[in-house]
Amino acid sequence: MLIMSRWLSELAANVPEYSIMEIAKYASAYRAEDMVYLNIGEPDFDTPGYIREKAIEAIQSGKTHYTPDSGIVELREAIAKKLRLENNLNYSVDDITVVSGSQEGISVVTQALLNHGDEVILSDPYYPSYTQNIWLRGAKPVFVPLRAENGFQMMAEDVEKAVTDKTKAIVIVSPNNPTGGVQSLEQLKAIAEIAIKHDLVVISDEIYEYIVYDGQTHHSIGSLPGMLERTITQNGFSKSYAMTGWRIGYLATPRELTPKIQEIHRATVICPPSVSQYAALAAITGPQDSVRRMVDEFSRRREFIVKRLREIPHVNVAAPSGAFYAFPDFSDYTNDDKALAKNLIKHAHVVTVHGSGFGELGRGHLRISFAASLSKLEEGLNRIEDYLRKNWPEKFT
Ligand SMILES: Cc1ncc(COP(=O)(O)O)c(C=O)c1O
């Protein structure tokens, strides 16, 4: 939607729309109790009890004030330890900044790095917050394709082709939203070489790191030789611990960037929410079996959704390697995926997100979240199939 106001900056007036919210807004006009929501980008589980209890304790003991702006030291130490032990990332505690969700991280990092006219290599499809924030800095995303035949990985050869003398950074989101792709170690190594060769900074968004399937392994590009000093690792508690509403995440940054990153973070939020920091500390230091249980449940749903989508004629779907989204291709039915998503809401009462809202290569696709119960998934997919059958009967003969 183009808003014309003489007060808005040119960049703000033209900021690309957030596809996920656009479709949620459209769906809100319809009766909620009828609707099956497969558009939601957050775990449908409650935050585990041991985390909530620690937060309550923090409130009761008066830990409700501003904290150090980069976060309480216990949490920063726990994050640095986790990164070292699990991700082989040796950031110093001083280079950890606790932020109000990874989304704040994206804003702070793009502010810290980008000049007008800089180019940022980003996948297509992409997580829309990146394009919005790159746009708001007057910089430009340069897209490289994620294709189903490569497991929706960002391929190093495409990255190399996208580099120009204006390139400042490469954004890697693995596991990926919206495609579910996971970068292999081989591709990460090849991209790391490109980053080093052209002196680029890498922003590695690892927020779905624990949610991988079929024995896949998540790798952190910052752990590769020569990469820690040029990698910003972004992570958060939202997806792994079902903590979306607590608004808590973290950045780990190369030493030369940390002071200004922390300055911008302070200017933006002063400090992350105090109670959420104690909850995050409990999450990261407590028992991890609730994470495993969630991932097991996502895994069962993933199996179901892929099998069920493959039963629908002319729908092509690659099994996601990570995260909790399937990204099926409906282009044999229509390329107007936005109309399809809206019609599914209006006529079939099932909410998905149009693929083109995540970039041009998403056209013809829908993002279907399986952060919904198996029974909801079953109902939603039955409705999608019925809608297709009614409108394209010839595809079902
Ligand atoms: C790839 C990616 N990065 C960042 C975020 C933002 O997460 P947070 O809740 O930590 O702000 C999301 C949320 O959907 C995401 O999918």
CATH number of 65-285: 3.40.640.10
Pocket test for ligand 1, best of 97, 103, 106, 132 (most atoms within 8 A of CB): 103
Q: Where does 10-46+289-388 sit in CATH, by number?
A: 3.90.1150.10
- Span 305-361, pLDDT tens digits: 999 999 999 999 999 999 999 999 999 999 999 999 999 999 999 999 999 999 999
Residue 112 has pLDDT above 70, yes or no: yes
Sequence ranges of the chain with CATH classification 3.90.1150.10: 10-46+289-388
Cα 48 to Cα 36: distance, rounded to the nearest angstrom: 25
Tell me the mean pLDDT in the region 175-203: 98
Query: Among 173, 177, 248, 324, which is best to mutate for testing ligand 1, by the most ligand atoms less than 8 A from CB?
Result: 177
Please list the alpha-helical segments (H only) found in the chain: 10-13, 19-27, 49-60, 73-87, 102-113, 128-136, 156-162, 185-197, 258-269, 274-285, 289-311, 337-343, 374-391
CA atoms within 13 A on the CB side of 77: 4
Dist. CA 102–CA 41, nearest whole Å: 14
Which numbered atom of ligand 1 lies nearest the CA of 238? Answer: 9
**Distance (Å) from CA 74 to ligand 1 centroid:** 24
Q: How far is the CA of 53 from the centre of ligand 1 (A)?
A: 24
Q: Are the C-beta atoms of residues 27 and 345 closer than 8 Å to each other? A: yes
pLDDT band at 3 (very low <50, low <70, confident <90, very high): low
User: In the chain, which residues fall in CATH 3.40.640.10?
Assistant: 65-285
> Rounded distance, CA 327 to CA 23, Å?
16
Cα distance between residue 144 and residue 155, in whole Å: 8
Which of 131, 207, 268 has most ligand 1 atoms within 8 Å of its beta carbon, as the pocket-test mutant?
A: 207
What is the CB < 6 Å shell around ligand 1?
Answer: 41, 101-103, 127, 173, 177, 205, 207, 236, 238, 244, 249
Evaluate if residue 250 carries a pLDDT over 90: yes
Collapsing DSSP states into helix, strand and coil, what is residue 296? helix
Alpha-carbon span 129 to 15, nearest angstrom: 11
